[in-house]
Amino acid sequence: MNQTHFIEADELQRTLAEHRILDCRFTLGDGGAGRQQYLEGHIPAAQYAHLETHLSGPSGPGRHPLPQLHTLAQTLAHFGIEHNSSVVVYDNNLAFAARAWWLLRAVGIENVRILNGGFGAWQQHQGPVQQQVEPIVPSKVERLRWQAASYDYEAVAAAIKTSAITLVDSRDGARYRGEHEPIDPIAGHIPTAINKDWQQVCNTSGFVREQSFHQQRWRQIPLDKPLVIYCGSGVTACVNILSATLAGVETAIYPGSWSDWCDHPGAVVAAGEN
């Protein structure tokens, strides 16, 4: 697998001391479950990065808005992460590790890799696990700036009127088609959006699919205009951004995603297949 964005469990075991490690395990609907899993056992020296307190902001468009830059800078300093740090992130299903991967790269931290197969792969390779939370020496707070392309509600709404973007919805097919909506108050999708379920990116064992899969997956998408990816709240969209990156395709994100779109009075909603 692409070694720029992924690290295998055996390599991580050999190079453990060279990285800052973030455990990103999380369970939607139970905000404390991920930290509890972390406390029950984690990769040595890993620090716990909570989706809603470290990888998201407290308020803003959508359920998981991006953190403010000054807050994110303080979070990274707390974890001892600097611009030149080597960072490894992991979880149980790729979704939350991908959010951390995207977020760090979005502010210019380039050497970020995801543990392929997550914590399960670490256990399969009999990697050491500890319960102790090791103290970490904070780094200085660095100045950050967003370096990733993003669209807000107004930009997406204007762009779809003129077919100026290619829009990809990362949720599962049933939510995309509006057949059911377990989280948001309105079911459906943004008009013109194409559906690419983020869960297709990994195989049934939780490992990212081979390079050829991603190349073929995005070859089917019109790429003659900006490719903007969204999901329910801007988290699993990062998995599709990762997939597109593996295929060499540039993307932008709509961070507020469906949870922001359907919160706007008068927002146009589509249902069924596009």
Please give, one letter per residue, the 3-state secondary structure of the chain.
Answer: CCCCCEECHHHHHHCHHHCEEEECCCECCECCHHHHHHHHCECCCCEECCCCCCCCCCCCCCCCCCCCHHHHHHHHHHCCCCCCCCEEEECCCCHHHHHHHHHHHHCCCCCEEEECCHHHHHHHCCCCCECCCCCCCCCCCCCCCCCCCECCHHHHHHHHHCCCCEEEECCCHHHHHCCCCCCCCCCCECCCCEECCHHHHECCCCCECCHHHHHHHHHCCCCCCCEEEECCCCCCHHHHHHHHHHCCCCCEECCCHHHHHCCCCCCCCECCCC
Active-site residue among 202, 231, 238, 262? 231
Catalytic site residue 231? Answer: yes
Catalytic residue IDs: 231
